[in-house]
A and B are shown apart, each in its own frame.
Chain A
Amino acid sequence: MRWLVAALLGVVLSASVQAASIEARLIRASNETEKPDEQLTKLEPKLKKVFGYRHFQQLGLQRGPLKENGQVRLDLGEGIVIFVTPRAAEKKGQMMDFEMYSGRAALVKSSVRVGHGELLVKGPEVGNTLLVVSLAVVE
């Protein structure tokens, strides 16, 4: 009986201390006719409403654990790298410093509180396409 209680307690504690993670995607928006990207099934309607393109393709996906004041580096491919430094977890969301780089160039530096929804960043235009980065805090 004691072992069962200890095991249950361990499961509860491990679930409660499980840290949140940051999930970032590099997405290319275009008007070319391609098959819908199944990885973006949930996000595509939002992307269409915001950016207006017809097709969205996921070029990279990275996820990293959020530890207070510990910087997370996420290499999304195509030279796009983001750095996330969590500041404080609040009721309204996760406060963090966010930097987006392409090569050596810092495209965006921001302090942002991300809640349950996504944060979208409109990046550079390449040919007839547009690069978009999406950021979300996941449990």
Chain B
Amino acid sequence: MSHNTESVSGLLDGELKGLRLWLAKRHISACPVCALEYRHQQHVRRLLQANPPTATMSDSAEFFWSKVKSDIQRRGEESVEVPLPRLALADWLEQHQFAMATAAALIIAVCGAVWFMQTIRRAPAVTASVATPPGFAQIEQLKTPVPHSAATTFDSEDAGVTVIWVTGLPWTPDMNEMKTQFANLDT
């Protein structure tokens, strides 16, 4: 909170309420410049209270108020246009500073929530695409009962296929020999 003599005046006049009252008190207790201003204005007010102005009127008070009353009655329901003060943008912002701060905080919170939700939604999609590219098969179990053979599996990115690569199978010189050899191989 910046130094503001209006806040000091408002505090002394009892015009501040709620959060503004609390902020003004807190600032004055922490700021020596404003504390000095506060004490100065408080001193002036005490002096004014101790020495009230002595008004001198040509008419008696009763007569004065009767003139006011008759003037009001004479005017009756005549409308009086009171010009509304035009507020500059800075004045408007100052008047609505707490509303503006609340709105800004809400916007930031909503943006943060949207960003967070998008991050959460995006994360599993990336994981899934890395783990299981579309088109590839997924091997859950794999074994090769032939003795001394082994099988591995891989996804060929170039070819776009999944391959079960069996090694260690007996080599045979031709198809007939293969049939004979594997026919007698009991697994």
- How many angstroms from the CA of A116 to the CA of B138 in the assembled complex? 12
Select the stretch in B1-9, B91-99, B104-112, B157-165 that faces chain A. Answer: B157-165
- How many angstroms from the CA of A105 to the CA of B172 in the assembled complex? 14
A78-B179, A102-B182, A126-B173 as given contacts; A120 in contact with B140, CB under 8 Å: no
Select the stretch in A14-22, A62-70, A106-114 that faces chain B. Answer: A106-114
Q: Is the CB of B158 within 8 A of A126?
A: no
Q: Is the CB of B166 within 8 A of A107?
A: yes
A108-B144, A108-B151, A126-B175 as given contacts; A50 in contact with B163, CB under 8 Å: yes
Q: How many of chain B's residues have a CB under 8 angstroms from any CB in A?
A: 43
Could you mark each residue 43-81 of chain B with 1 if its beta carbon is under 8 Å from any beta carbon of chain A, else 0?
000000000000000000000000000000000000000
- How many angstroms from the CA of A77 to the CA of B44 in the assembled complex? 114
Q: Is the CB of B185 within 8 A of A127?
A: no
- Smallest distance from the beta carbon of A52 to chain B beta carbons, Å? 11
- How many angstroms from the CA of A50 to the CA of B142 in the assembled complex? 20
Select one of B161, B167, B185 contacting A119, CB under 8 A.
Answer: B161
A50-B156, A79-B178, A104-B183 as given contacts; A117 in contact with B145, CB under 8 Å: no
Question: At the interface, is chain A mostly helix, strand, loop or mixed?
Answer: strand
Q: Is the CB of B178 within 8 A of A120?
A: no
Residues of B within 8 A of A118 (CB): 161-162
A104-B186, A122-B166 as given contacts; A92 in contact with B132, CB under 8 Å: yes
A105-B186, A111-B141 as given contacts; A124 in contact with B171, CB under 8 Å: yes
A50-B156, A117-B135, A124-B170 as given contacts; A110 in contact with B186, CB under 8 Å: no
Residues of B within 8 A of A116 (CB): 134-135
Chain A positions 82-139 with a Cβ under 8 Å from a chain B Cβ? 92-93, 95, 102-127
Select one of B160, B166, B186 contacting A117, CB under 8 A.
Answer: B160
Residues of B within 8 A of A47 (CB): 159
**A35 lies within 8 A of chain B by Cβ:** no
**B103 lies within 8 A of chain A by Cβ:** no
- The residue of chain A having its C-beta at the shortest distance from the C-beta of B167 within the complex is A122
Q: Is the CB of B140 within 8 A of A111?
A: yes
**B113 lies within 8 A of chain A by Cβ:** no
- How many angstroms from the CA of A126 to the CA of B177 in the assembled complex? 9
- Smallest distance from the beta carbon of B19 to chain A beta carbons, Å? 56
Chain B interfacial positions (CB closer than 8 Å to A): 132, 134-146, 149, 151, 156, 158-167, 169-175, 177-179, 182-187
| Complex A-B: 7 CB contacts under 8 Å | A109-B141, A109-B144, A116-B135, A119-B161, A121-B163, A122-B164, A122-B167
Q: Give 4 closest A-B pairs by Cβ, nearest first.
A: A103-B183, A102-B182, A117-B135, A46-B159
